[in-house]
Amino acid sequence: MTFSIRKATKTDMPRVLELITELAVFEREPDAVEVSVEELITAGFGDSKQFECFVADCDGLVEGMALVYKRYSTWKGSILHLEDLIVSQAKRGSGLGTALLDEVVKYGHGLGVKRISWEVIDWNEPAIKFYEKKGADVKRDWDVVHLSEEGIKTYIEHIK
């Protein structure tokens, strides 16, 4: 198999959404994906670009993706957040994940970030082992906190 890692284009977004959906199914949340192709195009390629996306192109078919964006840490300064690194089920173990992570790390290094951060679901031991093998420190003593869209609305109602 030959492949290349490149920056995503607008025309890649339908396949990127398919990969996002595949991940949601894998993570046992098949109905959780709300984003649309149009939203991905606007957020990734519009006037207020919100993310960078890299894809693994295997003979003309996108089989993996990594989506990142800049954040700021009060402790470290500029950091890069890896929202998702996804390799299609059919291509896992083929080197695409390493190639995508390599590209993310090179990109972050080029930006001069102090850290690259991401989350991994606690039962995905193959992914945890993969990241640890690459030198990542999996913070098992931290919990991820989200305030959903509904939670934001409820919160706002209580502060009025």
Position 112 pLDDT exceeds 90: yes
Q: What is the mean pLDDT of the chain?
A: 94
Sequence-ordered list of residues with C-beta below 8 angstroms from that of 23, at least 6 positions apart, any chain: 84, 86
Query: Minimal CA–CA distance to 57: which of 19, 113, 24?
Result: 19
Position 44 pLDDT exceeds 90: yes
pLDDT digit string, tens, across residues 51-88: 999 999 999 999 999 999 999 999 999 999 999 999 99
Position 160 pLDDT exceeds 80: no
pLDDT value of position 146:
87
Q: What is the mean pLDDT of residues 140-158?
A: 89
pLDDT digit string, tens, across residues 19-43: 999 999 999 999 999 999 999 999 9
Helix (H, G, I), strand (E, B) or coil at 4: strand
Sequence-ordered list of residues with C-beta below 8 angstroms from that of 67, at least 6 positions apart, any chain: 16, 51, 52, 53, 54, 82, 83, 84
Confidence category of residue 1, pLDDT binned at 50, 70, 90: confident
pLDDT value of position 142:
86
DSSP-assigned letters across all residues of 18-47: HHHHHHHHHTT-TT-----HHHHHHHHHST
Predicted model pTM: 0.91
Q: What is the mean pLDDT of residues 126-150?
A: 90
